[in-house]
Structure 1
Amino acid sequence: MEIKDVVLIEPESPGYNFFSSVQMPLLGLPILGAILQQMGLNVKIYCENFSSIDWNRIKQADIIGLTVLTLLAPRAYELAQKIKEVNPRAKIIMGGVHVSMLPEEALNHGADIVVRGEGENIIRNLIQALAGKNDIEDVAGISYCKNGKIHHNKEAEKPVDLGKIPAPDFSLIENYKEIPYIPYQTSRGCPHNCEFCSVVEMFGRNVRDRPPAQVIKDLKSIKKTPAQKDKHVFIVDDNFSANIKRARDLLQKLSDSNLEMEWSTQEEVLVHKKEEILDLMAKTGCKRLHLGIESVNPDALEEYQKPQSRSDIYKAVEKIKKRDISVHGMFVLGADNDTARTIRETMQAAVNLDLETAQFFVLVPPPGTELFRRLKEEGRLLIEEMSDWKFFDGQHVVFEPNNLAPTALQKLQIKAFKKFYNLKQSLKWFTRKKFYKGAVNFYGIWALRRWLWENRGYLDELKDFN
């Protein structure tokens, strides 16, 4: 087939949650779009969270790609069916962590081809195969249907070299000027092996990095673009300072570049032992760290394979805030070793830590993770239907906890949000003249109320599992 026009789509996130007002695009499509442009193709990206899809453009496209996280799967499959009605000649390619773990599901719900794992190395060979320049049977890392039978080609042999892929091109996104935060990645992979996390399944435990010189070049290019120069950059690395030498080198080069940029990233609690890294973060414009606190229950931390103590948690928050960097605490409720008492202790710790913002996830088992496999074997999954993947967002209980009823865990999560986001907490920040943080806390009150209203049906249904 002749290939000229490609449309890439990030499906709309379902429902409403605390972070619906601070959406940013997933990073995969702007990188793949840049690669496809290098191949001489016309590319357009639609992120439904920022703009509607131009269906006239869909009618003209030769290839349509959809990125699929678990909670986006129902919408992705819905879009695939509509695309087939509007443009039956187009090839529909799906990629992303969910379909990488469940390729047959995607092929049975509209995908012609599924890209498994990292797509940057696969997409070039796949496009050439679809254009008739090589055989699709020889393209590693894909699944597809042929003569009514599903085929899974061999795995892609090598992980992506981040130094050999182009920088993400956000200008390909329709209405990209409205994006409030710019995502960027300096490394992939995580040395930890948390049972509930799909990062290792997707990217591996060996942390790979983009060379610092390229990172600085990319960031300078982003900040030179008028529509992006004043935007906050969120570095999406799973563990920014996992490799201390790499992090130090990158931050020092960023400091030497004199690039004026506000940024934030995710970190582990043990970053408090890397004070030189924290100093360089503050020096280079880091304004917030999203800290994986998870719990203050030692048994839960051991279950999550988090080598940190309650003392480490308090030291980390203290040292980060000492450098005028805000802390966003991330907690996970519902470990097998959690009880109502330990969860209440964790929610109280979130208040005692004097965090600026906090996020209380209920434990969620993404397909493909060890947690999903274990809970399925134990018969504890409440949801396995494709149409219900939208509830795998960390805000809904989708499994039977070990020591609690499902509704009890859900109510404790709601209580955690209410304990953290309330008028008393808002007034605390206002009296300290931290008006932005007070406003954010006040927004949290409203966001929770809206979430409760939108999910009242789900909360009622959850009672049936008690």
Structure 2
Amino acid sequence: MKIEKIALVEPVGVDWFNIYALTRMPRGIPLLAAILRQTGYQVDCYVGSIKKIKLKDLMQYDVIGFSAISCTIYPTHDMIRKLIDMGFVGKIIVGGPHATVLPAESIITGADVVVRNEGDKALLEVIAAFESGSDLGKIAGIHWWDGETIRSTPNRPFLTEQELSELPFPALDSIVGLERMNLVPITFSRGCPYQCEFCGVAGMYGSRYRCTTVEWRVAQVRNLKENYPEIWATTAIFFTDDNLFGTPRSREVTIEFLNRLVAEDLVPPMGFVCQIRVADATPEIAALFKKANCCLVCMGIESADDKALKLLNKEQTAEDIRVGLANLHAEGLNTLAMTIAGTDEDTFWSFWRSIRQLTKWGITYLQVLNLVPLVGTPMTKRFMAEGRKCCENYDRHNGMHVTIKPKKMSRFGVWASLYLVCFGWFYGRLLLKPSFKYRKLIWVGALQELKRPWEIIRNRFRR
């Protein structure tokens, strides 16, 4: 099979108001595009949150690779079915966190191969096997059709730190609609040493934190400045690591990197966004963030209630949160508290008290997501062992829907925690301030919720 043109696709979910749809940026496919381009393939990236994907545009490619998370897996499968019905004769590959845990779903839908976990090496090997007609069974970390049987190979070892530090800069110019991107993603590490019960990062990238070198990080930022000057001048960078500092060793690497940005005139003019643990928000780190022009510090706070934090295995306390926020605000930094509604320790009033406490501690922005039973996580496995009923409609696994009933809270209480406490109480006050930049965003969320009662009424009349 002759392969020249490859499309890499990240579909968007059915809801148009959630964190995955509102951040107009890709996850990992521009990096895969850069790896494939090094071998001579022509590669284009289609990202649904950046520009609407038209199936007719995909028909011209020899191979289509889909990257999907749980809330986009149904749209991904729908696209695969429609492409096959339209007569697509090329090969289809699926990867991403959801397909890593449940690969058979995508194979049965019509994918030729599912790549599990990291695809940096496996994707290239699969495409080479398509071209040569060689045995897919020699490629580690995949599922595929073999006649009428789904076969699989053992997991592939994760990339080493040296291998991560040899990866190319993501091919941003491969993104269709690049000019609409509102954040530039750069990733410096993979894996997580922490064992938060609800999180799927360790399942996708392993529990060992692997970080890139200082030189590689600096080169990534310099490449963006020199080769994409317009994006550099107009768009903020998002260091997408789930934990920018990670281990004590990688913390020193990150500190040196940030100091190099300042010393080598590589401070992003529009600033950078990052995700850290509150325990890492020391006065020294806060001052360094200020010098390097950090425009938003995102923290997985989850709750200001110590019982909820212990249940989620967060390895942090409410006092840690208070101190970390105080250090960041002392430098005038914007903070985003990422929280979860609907743990088994939550009631509506305990959640409201938690958010009120965070407000008193001065958080700039608030993100509330309802608890989601992501496939393969320790929490979801616990729910299944307890016989708890979880919502199996993956379209709703984006944090904006009630997908599991907590032990101490009604489903309405979970809904109210998100839409009344977060949007009504917290952001309702900010809407009155002329300086608040995200007024349109909040109204979008309100409109999405107003359509839900209408849909319920309409569906009842249709019966």
Same fold, TM exceeding 0.5? yes
What's the CA shift string for 1:433-457, capped at 9, x where partnerless? Answer: xx2xx232x3454133113123336
1-side partners of 2:133 and 2:334: how far apart? 52
- Report what 2:258 is aligned to: 251
Given that residues 43 and 174 in structure 2 are in contact (C-alpha distance below 8 angstroms), is that contact kept between their aligned partners in structure 1? yes
2-side partners of 1:455 and 1:187: how far apart? 39
1-side partners of 2:125 and 2:327: how far apart? 48
What's the CA shift string for 1:192-227, capped at 9, x where partnerless? Answer: 111110000011122111222121111122123133
2-side partners of 1:357 and 1:328: how far apart? 5
Do structure 1's residue 309 and structure 2's residue 317 form an aligned pair?
Answer: yes
What's the CA shift string for 1:319-366, capped at 9, x where partnerless? Answer: 112112100111111111222332121121232223221111111111
Pairing partner for 1:282 from 285, 290, 293: 290
Letter in 1 for 2:230: A
Give SS of 1:335's match.
Answer: coil
Give SS of 2:199's match.
Answer: coil
Pairing partner for 2:278 from 250, 262, 269: 269
1-side partners of 2:58 and 2:16: how far apart? 27
Do structure 1's residue 324 and structure 2's residue 326 form an aligned pair?
Answer: no
Given that residues 238 and 274 in structure 2 are in contact (C-alpha distance below 8 angstroms), is that contact kept between their aligned partners in structure 1? yes
Q: 1:458 deviation in Å?
A: 7.6
2-side partners of 1:133 and 1:443: how far apart? 52
Letter in 2 for 1:102: L
Letter in 2 for 1:12: V
What's the CA shift string for 1:148-200, capped at 9, x where partnerless? Answer: 00001111024353112111111101110111111111111122111110000
Give SS of 1:16's match.
Answer: coil
Give SS of 1:455's match.
Answer: helix
1-side partners of 2:96 and 2:457: how far apart? 32
Q: 1:22 deviation in Å?
A: 4.3
2-side partners of 1:305 and 1:240: how far apart? 19
What's the CA shift string for 1:67-103, capped at 9, x where partnerless? Answer: 1100001100010011112343211100000000100
Pairing partner for 1:234 from 233, 238, 250: 238
Cα 1:54–1:298 shift into 2, 3 Å: closer
1-side partners of 2:348 and 2:181: how far apart? 39
- Report what 2:426 is aligned to: 420
Give SS of 1:421's match.
Answer: helix
Given that residues 55 and 79 in structure 2 are in contact (C-alpha distance below 8 angstroms), is that contact kept between their aligned partners in structure 1? no
- Report what 1:26 is aligned to: 26
Letter in 2 for 1:330: M
Q: Which shifted more, 77-86 or 97-106?
A: 77-86
Letter in 2 for 1:420: F
- Report what 1:439 is aligned to: 437
Given that residues 23 and 181 in structure 1 are in contact (C-alpha distance below 8 angstroms), is that contact kept between their aligned partners in structure 2? yes
1-side partners of 2:158 and 2:66: how far apart? 23
Give SS of 2:322's match.
Answer: helix
Q: 1:18 deviation in Å?
A: 5.6
Do structure 1's residue 213 and structure 2's residue 221 form an aligned pair?
Answer: no
Given that residues 84 and 90 in structure 1 are in contact (C-alpha distance below 8 angstroms), is that contact kept between their aligned partners in structure 2? no
- Report what 1:48 is aligned to: 48
1-side partners of 2:145 and 2:101: how far apart? 17
Q: 1:249 deviation in Å?
A: 1.9
- Report what 2:167 is aligned to: 165
Q: TM-score, normalised by structure 1?
A: 0.91
Give SS of 1:174's match.
Answer: coil
Pairing partner for 1:452 from 449, 454, 461: 449
Letter in 2 for 1:76: T
Q: 1:23 deviation in Å?
A: 1.8
- Report what 1:260 is aligned to: 267
Given that residues 18 and 444 in structure 1 are in contact (C-alpha distance below 8 angstroms), is that contact kept between their aligned partners in structure 2? no
Q: CA RMSD in A?
A: 2.0
Cα 1:87–1:5 shift into 2, 3 Å: farther
Letter in 2 for 1:168: P
Give SS of 2:121's match.
Answer: helix
Do structure 1's residue 408 and structure 2's residue 434 form an aligned pair?
Answer: no
Do structure 1's residue 380 and structure 2's residue 388 form an aligned pair?
Answer: yes
Give SS of 2:369's match.
Answer: strand
Cα 1:20–1:112 shift into 2, 3 Å: closer
1-side partners of 2:18 and 2:2: how far apart? 44
Q: Which shifted more, 289-298 or 218-227?
A: 218-227
Unaligned runs of 5+ in 2: 459-463
Do structure 1's residue 349 and structure 2's residue 357 form an aligned pair?
Answer: yes
Give SS of 2:254's match.
Answer: helix
Q: 1:245 deviation in Å?
A: 1.4
- Report what 1:8 is aligned to: 8
Q: 1:65 deviation in Å?
A: 0.6
Given that residues 20 and 49 in structure 2 are in contact (C-alpha distance below 8 angstroms), is that contact kept between their aligned partners in structure 1? no
Given that residues 63 and 92 in structure 1 are in contact (C-alpha distance below 8 angstroms), is that contact kept between their aligned partners in structure 2? yes
Q: TM-score, normalised by structure 2?
A: 0.92
Cα 1:204–1:19 shift into 2, 3 Å: closer
Q: 1:307 deviation in Å?
A: 2.3
Letter in 2 for 1:397: V
Give SS of 1:120's match.
Answer: coil
1-side partners of 2:456 and 2:252: how far apart? 47
Q: 1:138 deviation in Å?
A: 0.2
Task: Give the fraction of aligned pairs with identical amino acids, expressed as a percent.
Answer: 25
Give SS of 1:131's match.
Answer: helix
What's the CA shift string for 1:42-77, capped at 9, x where partnerless? Answer: 111111222233545422211001111000011000
- Report what 1:71 is aligned to: 71
1-side partners of 2:312 and 2:457: how far apart? 30
